[in-house]
Amino acid sequence: MGGNGVTARQEPDLPFVDIPGQWFDREPLAALRETAGDLPLCRSRRGVEVLDYPTVAALITDGRLDSQDATVYGRMGGPQSLVDFADHGLLVAMRGDKHRRLRRVLSAGFRVRQVLERHDSMRDQATLLADQWTDGTCEFVSEFSSPYPMRVLCALLGIPAGDIGMFTAAATELHLLAAVPLDPHFGRIDSALKTLHSYVTDLIAVRHRTHEDDMISSLIAEQHNDGTVTDEELAWSLVNLIFAGQDTTRYQLASAVLELIEHDVWPQLRRDPALIPAAVAEALRIRPVTRFVVRIPREPVIIHGVLVEPGRRIILNLLAASHDPARFTDPDEFRMDRAQPYDLPFGWGAHHCLGAALARTEMEAALSVLTTAFSEVAPSRPPQLTAPGGMLHGPESMQLTFTR
């Protein structure tokens, strides 16, 4: 993390990118590239932006850096539900023994073999949704990419089908946790967190009495065996699972479909479904739903010759890293034959996403159904996208036409 190839300089000397700003909102990659030039760092109102792939990959697991924890939300004046959620359930915000305890128990619900065994049931859920489109048009987000991951997740958790609507509405509200700024949305976030926490708390109590063949029962069994995780921690962890499993897949699946259309990949996948896993991997790279992650140094760190003081926000810019030309040939092109994988979308090390295999399998199952059933897929109008400067990015609505 030294100054290889970069003249040592002070942070205020770094070029400034206006985020959010008109240029960045319109062309985020162009704004970053043209402002930073050959430099792997720049500044924005978000913090010090790290742009190159190897440095982002190194810093994402750097032991000197912390994720934003519950105290951040407390200092913002956030509701108690948000502080409790971050303190007891938000794995990415935890470190040390608490993180290890919870991750050890939660890992029991995400074994790869168990996830892959559900591939056919995921295809069934996708087929049920797609079969409702009878007139050659659909609103893809509200009619597929939003309800689909929640149906999969509810089936996995053992949540009754009649409650899926409530769950989807509350979980979708939690996309506001990625908003910048956050405080205007505290009321809606508080309401959604309380709704989800109350429901899963009651469900945990039921599963303590009556074991079922579902993930919550498996986690309770692991909780009993481990003996270190409380019901409150388990409840908030399940809320985090619902938030992460719904929102990121909702945006990423819609983004993947948009990329397949824009790069004319859809016909290839119809002809050769074996390419779908490679298409999912490339969609995760070229239009990542998580645009950045935040790290806070506990001590002074030097990044490419620039001193960053403790407490300063370091923005690991995943959008820029996923388009780093030093890592990816023709980084703006959709290529399913890349030799270098994009390894960042689900994090690394201790904070690698527990649901990574689930998310990939969900997307592969959905695209298998969609590319088989439909051809000549095209937007009927430009999709409505989230703000480019937010942590999560993707289509909020996307009207499509197609031939069945």
pLDDT of residue 282: 95
The alpha carbon of residue 221 and the mean position of all alpha carbons in its chain are separated, in whole angstroms, by 28
Token representation of residue 323: 């388009």
Pairing of strands 384-385, 395-397: antiparallel
Cα separation, 215 vs 252, whole angstroms: 24
* Domain covering 11-403: architecture: Orthogonal Bundle (1.10)
Sign of the four-CA dihedral 325, 328, 329, 334: negative
pLDDT digit string (tens) for 235-261?
Answer: 998 888 888 778 889 999 999 999 999
What's phi and psi for 318, nearest 5 deg?
A: -70, -30
Write down the pLDDT at residue 350.
53
Neighbours of 395 (CB within 10 A): 23
Write down the H helix ranges in 272-401: 276-286, 318-321, 356-373
Token pair of 148 as six digits: 């689909």
Query: 247: which 2 tokens?
Result: 């929102």
- Domain positions in the chain: 11-403
The reported pLDDT for the residue numbered 6 is 43
379 forms beta bridges with: 400
Q: How many helices (H) and strands (E) does the chain have?
A: 18, 12
Write down the pLDDT at residue 13.
Answer: 85
pLDDT averaged over the chain? 88
Per-residue pLDDT of the chain (404 residues; tens, 9 = 90+): 554 444 456 788 899 999 989 999 999 999 999 999 989 999 999 999 999 999 999 998 888 988 877 777 888 888 999 999 888 888 777 777 887 888 888 887 777 566 767 788 899 999 999 999 988 999 999 999 999 998 998 888 888 878 888 878 888 888 788 777 788 999 999 999 999 999 999 999 999 998 888 888 888 988 988 888 899 999 998 888 888 778 889 999 999 999 999 999 999 999 999 999 999 999 999 999 999 989 999 999 999 999 999 999 999 999 999 999 999 999 999 999 988 878 787 765 555 677 788 889 999 999 999 999 999 999 999 999 998 888 889 999 999 999 98
Distance, in Å, from the CA atom of 24 to the CA atom of 319, rounded to the nearest integer, reads 12
What pLDDT is stored for residue 5 in this prediction?
45
Distance between CA atoms of residues 196 and 358, nearest Å: 21
Peptide bond into 40 cis (omega under 30): no
d(CA 198, CA 163): 13
The b/e string for 216-232 (b: 16+ C-beta within 10 A; e otherwise) is bbbbbebbeeeeebeee
**Which residues, in sequence order, are bridge partners of residue 44?**
47
Q: What per-residue confidence (pLDDT) applies to 1?
A: 58
pLDDT of 349 reads 56
